[in-house]
Chain A
Amino acid sequence: QSALTQPASVSGSPGQSITISCTGTSSDVGGYNYVSWYQQHPGKAPKLMIFDVSNRPSGVSNRFSGSKSGNTASLTISGLLAEDEADYYCSSYRNSSTFYVFGTGTKVTVL
């Protein structure tokens, strides 16, 4: 079962905006609005940042936003802060025996 495709790394300076892409197929990202994004700091459990493409859970900063176009979903972090430096994973429901799939992960570096 193939993972969703993310860039290995993205970097930006404090205060800038960055965007992480997540590319799948019409069987997952493109076919359903069940894309989520997770943030993971080293040695910690993942944290839900975005669900259902563009919804933020309570307590998540509005600097984080999600969107989708075709088979590609995106996570944008605006006003980049040092604390945003972490690994980010997208995920999606997949219409197959796989059922659910994560992205390959993106390391965000704040310069």
Chain B
Amino acid sequence: EVQLLESGGGWVQPGGSLRLSCAASGFTFSNYAMSWVRQAPGKGLEWVSGISGSGGGTYYADSVKGRFTISRDNSKNTLYLQMNSPRAEDTAFYYCAKGQVVVVNWGQGALVTVSS
């Protein structure tokens, strides 16, 4: 059974930094592209970033480009999202997702609150 478990969410001040992690199990992690998708409270889904299975290809939404960095450690079956200089509008549930163009499995989400 595929499991995606996010951690690292919480409160962060504007301009600070936070790193989300996603521990994956139940599939061969290195064979799959992965993504981060976010959802502000009461709002719609927004794709944030994606990474190829090898980690050699990374992609970002314009709204986070230059501030967020996606990475993965295939030896640890873990996906990361480094959030630098977050803004109030980055407040959202962040979902770890298996796949990129088609998201087959989703984690339960980690809430990130950006506030002073």
Contacts and interface: CB of A to CB of B under 8 A. Distances in A.
Interface of A: 1, 3, 34, 36, 38, 40, 45-48, 51-52, 57, 89, 91, 93, 97-105
Interface string B39-67: 00000111100100000000111110100
A101 B103 contact: no
A35 to B, nearest CB: 10
Given A1-B62, A45-B95, A100-B100, 10 more contacts: A3-B44, A3-B46, A40-B45, A46-B106, A89-B44, A97-B62, A98-B62, A100-B35, A100-B47, A102-B37
A34 B101 contact: yes
Contacts, number: 61
A91 B97 CA distance: 14
Interface of B: 35, 37, 44-47, 50, 59-63, 65, 95, 100-104, 106-109
A100 B109 contact: no
A45 B107 contact: yes
A8 to B, nearest CB: 10
Minimum-distance CB pairs A-B, first 10: A45-B106, A105-B44, A99-B59, A102-B45, A100-B47, A51-B102, A93-B101, A34-B101, A1-B62, A89-B45
A38 B103 contact: yes
A97 B50 CA distance: 12
A33 to B, nearest CB: 10
A1 B44 CA distance: 14
